[in-house]
Chains A and B, each alone.
Chain A
Amino acid sequence: ELKVEQNPLFLSMQEGKNYTIYCNYSTTSDRLYWYRQDPGKSLESLFVLLSNGAVKQEGRLMASLDTKARLSTLHITAAVHDLSATYFCAVAGASGYALNFGKGTSLLVTP
């Protein structure tokens, strides 16, 4: 059974600080996806990581993938309130079609 584990599950951080969210998964995969969900809203795609060593950046967020360690990280630089949301990582399951999600990291950025 494919497992996707995120930590931390809850994160409260001050504006201006840096932090990293971790995503471990239990299967061999070189495809990993990060999504963002705002309260009451649906999921929005953030990053698609397609190979070992892939790194993508968008604004204050940077995602990376280490397929050998089965680990992806989402790094937040100089957090701002607008980044408050829940962040999910996901990996394609055995079918290759459906995504298996982590439980999500609920991020709150405070002044």
Chain B
Amino acid sequence: DVKVTQSSRYLVKRTGEKVFLECVQDMDHENMFWYRQDPGLGLRLIYFSYDVKMKEKGDIPEGYSVSREKKERFSLILESASTNQTSMYLCASSSPSLSGGTEAFFGQGTRLTVV
């Protein structure tokens, strides 16, 4: 059974804190992604990575950074959390090219509240 596991289901952090969201996949996928999901806005891509130590900005990278030191693990970092980063964060992974027809598999999500 394929699995993408996010380290926390719920997280509450204070404004200004540095926040780490961790994601691990066991499918040996090259690609990994971080999305945030907000009501009425759907899913928006924050960052993605197509290989270890490689990263690409998505549509809304401001205020975030990522780290991929190992193939199976992709971390999202909020350098200084702000209330407008309160959201549901979804991690996903896929094999090399989605244009080749393989879908992305999603983790269970982390609901982050910044107070």
Contacts and interface: CB of A to CB of B under 8 A. Distances in A.
Interface of A: 29, 31, 33, 35, 41-45, 48, 50, 88, 92-93, 95-104
B19 interface: no
Contacts of B103: 33, 45, 48
9 contacts: A31-B101, A42-B106, A45-B104, A92-B97, A92-B99, A93-B45, A99-B33, A99-B92, A99-B104
Q: Is the interface of A mostly helix, strand, loop or mixed?
A: loop
Given A33-B103, A42-B106, A48-B103, A97 B97 contact: yes
A48 B106 CA distance: 15
Contact of A96 (B41, B42, B43, B99): B99
Interface in B69-115: 90, 92, 94, 96-109
Contact of B98 (A41, A43, A97): A97
Contact of B43 (A31, A41, A48, A88): A88
Contact of A103 (B35, B42, B45): B42
Contact of B31 (A45, A97, A101, A103): A97
Interface residues of B, number: 30
Contacts of A99: 33, 45, 92, 98, 104
Contacts of B58: 98
Interface in B35-53: 35, 40-45, 48, 50
A103 B40 contact: yes
B98 A92 contact: yes
Given A97-B98, A99-B98, A43 B45 contact: no
B108 A41 contact: yes
A42 B107 contact: yes
Given A33-B103, A42-B107, A100 B45 contact: yes
- Among B43, B50, B107, chain A packs the most CB atoms within 10 A around the CB of B43
